[in-house]
């Protein structure tokens, strides 16, 4: 312990020495200084805004990439994982090639490859000559395709959106109540509870009714380009950097998730499924009540770990110029802001996120373990 303290003291002494010698500030005041540079794909960002606002935008971008990446990775991973166990030789083989190919290539290389091979040097036109894909029988585009930016439809808030979300929250509360009610009833009477059906159904009904009653709080905003063709004035624009980062990470992570899925399915003993068959359960019931609950328990912790890895890996977007929090922090360090404090803020952001997730994961593990005994 004493050794650790001494070492810490020595390191701290060196730090203070070096910082005073090079006259680098030791406080966090730089966070309120103007940022000074414009942020990619963020026309609204005024470079005079303070650096903490820049950090927030970075965090937002990190999660934008992380969330979409997680969704894509889950879908692809599930499909590929099941495909690996297919009775069709070609399907199983292709799934294996996909898994082994992506799993054993550095994610950084995959990201750079997507950025160059798919977007930069790919077949798509430059943005001013972008492909506008029209909706059938309409003037609006549903997709704007180019090598530097891709426009997709988005929802734009029209009216009463606050009220709408309030109603949805009420719906969630009601759905939770119904869930509890169905569970209790199931315990009391032994009737099938169907609580997912009941709760989700209620939520969907509430949301639909609220949507219609408020006269459509959201409307589609179709992607369209400005007159000079250089800017997307409606819809949602994603940059090539964002797409290559998200796609590359999604596929890379999917290859890991596919292995998790496969291993989890294989981990359920064959006897379980046979026994379920002997009880005359249908194939769906067999999956729903016997295989899936057991497989899921095995699959969830490693999958969450993969999700965490994916979110942490979004920091690699810095090589393709995606404005995530790491990239922006690095730029601001390059513009004469103090490195130690900037990196402390950066690590804090990731740390808070990771710790919250691992806390949730620990709670989940504990509940699962309790059920086991």
Question: Considering only residues 94-153, where is the footprint of other proteins by CB under 8 A?
Answer: 94, 97, 100-101, 103-110, 112-113, 116-117, 119-121, 126-128, 147-149
Kindly give, in sequence order, each residue whose CB lies less than 8 Å from that of residue 349, ignoring residues fewer than 6 positions away.
Answer: 55, 59, 62, 325
Among 340, 361, 364, 365, binds other proteins (CB under 8 A): 340
Q: Does residue 313 sit in helix, strand or coil?
A: helix
Give the Cα separation of 210 and 224 in Å (integer). Answer: 29
Task: Kindly tell me which of 29 and 183 has the beta carbon lying closer to other proteins.
Answer: 29
Phi, psi at 233, each rounded to 5°: -100, -15
Judged by CB under 8 A, which of 182, 251, 262, 291 binds other proteins?
Answer: 262
179-208: contacts with other proteins (CB under 8 A): none
**CB of 312: closest distance to other proteins in angstroms?**
4
Region of 88-96, 160-168, 177-185, 285-293 interacting with other proteins (CB under 8 A): 88-96
Task: Check: CB of residue 34 under 8 Å from CB of residue 337.
Answer: no
**Alpha helices by DSSP H, the chain:** 2-21, 51-83, 89-103, 107-113, 161-189, 195-213, 240-267, 270-278, 283-285, 292-313, 325-334, 339-372
Site string for other proteins, 217-256 (x = CB under 8 A): ---------x-x-xx-------xxx---------------
In this complex, which beta carbon is closest to other proteins, that of residue 97 or of residue 166?
97
Strands 154-157 and 218-221 turn out to be antiparallel
- Is residue 161 within 8 Å of 217, Cβ to Cβ? yes
> Which residues, 299 to 318, sit near other proteins by CB under 8 A?
312-313, 315-316, 318
Instruction: CB nearer to other proteins: give 27 or 191.
Output: 27
Mark 2-41 with x for binding to other proteins (rule: CB under 8 A) and - for no binding. Answer: --x------xx-xx-xxx-xxxx-----------xxxxxx
């Amino acid at each position: 312990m004493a050794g650790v303290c001494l070492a810490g003291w020595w390191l701290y002494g060196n730090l203070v020495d070096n910082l005073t010698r090079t006259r680098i500030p030791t406080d966090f005041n730089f966070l309120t200084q103007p940022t000074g540079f414009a942020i990619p794909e963020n026309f609204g960002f005024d470079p005079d805004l303070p650096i903490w606002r820049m950090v927030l935008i970075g965090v937002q971008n990190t999660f934008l990439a992380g969330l979409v990446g997680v969704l894509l990775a889950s879908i692809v991973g599930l499909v590929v994982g099941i495909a690996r166990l297919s009775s069709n030789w070609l399907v199983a083989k292709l799934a294996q090639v996909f898994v082994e190919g992506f799993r054993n290539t550095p994610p950084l290389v995959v990201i750079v490859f997507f950025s160059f091979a798919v977007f930069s040097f790919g077949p798509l036109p430059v943005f001013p000559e972008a492909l506008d894909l029209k909706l059938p029988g309409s003037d609006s585009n549903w997709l704007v395709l180019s090598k530097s930016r891709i426009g997709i439809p988005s929802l734009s808030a029209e009216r009463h959106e606050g009220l709408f979300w309030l109603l949805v929250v009420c719906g969630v509360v009601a759905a939770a109540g119904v869930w509890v009610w169905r569970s209790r009833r199931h315990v009391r009477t032994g009737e099938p509870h169907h609580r997912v059906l009941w709760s989700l159904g209620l939520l969907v009904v509430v949301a639909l009714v609220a949507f219609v009653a408020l006269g459509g709080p959201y409307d589609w905003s179709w992607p369209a380009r400005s007159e000079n063709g250089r800017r997307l004035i409606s819809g949602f624009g994603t940059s090539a950097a964002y797409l290559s980062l998200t796609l590359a990470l999604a596929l890379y992570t999917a290859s890991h998730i596919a292995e998790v899925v496969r291993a989890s399915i294989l981990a359920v003993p064959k006897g379980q499924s046979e026994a379920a068959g002997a009880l005359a359960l249908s194939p769906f019931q067999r999956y729903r009540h016997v295989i899936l609950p057991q497989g899921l328990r095995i699959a969830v912790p490693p999958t969450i770990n993969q999700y965490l890895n994916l979110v942490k890996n979004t920091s690699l977007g810095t090589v393709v110029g995606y404005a995530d929090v790491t990239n922006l922090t690095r730029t601001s360090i390059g513009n004469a802001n103090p490195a130690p404090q900037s990196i402390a803020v950066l690590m804090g952001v990731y740390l808070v996120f990771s710790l919250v997730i691992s806390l949730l994961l620990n709670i989940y593990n504990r509940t699962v373990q309790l059920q086991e005994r």
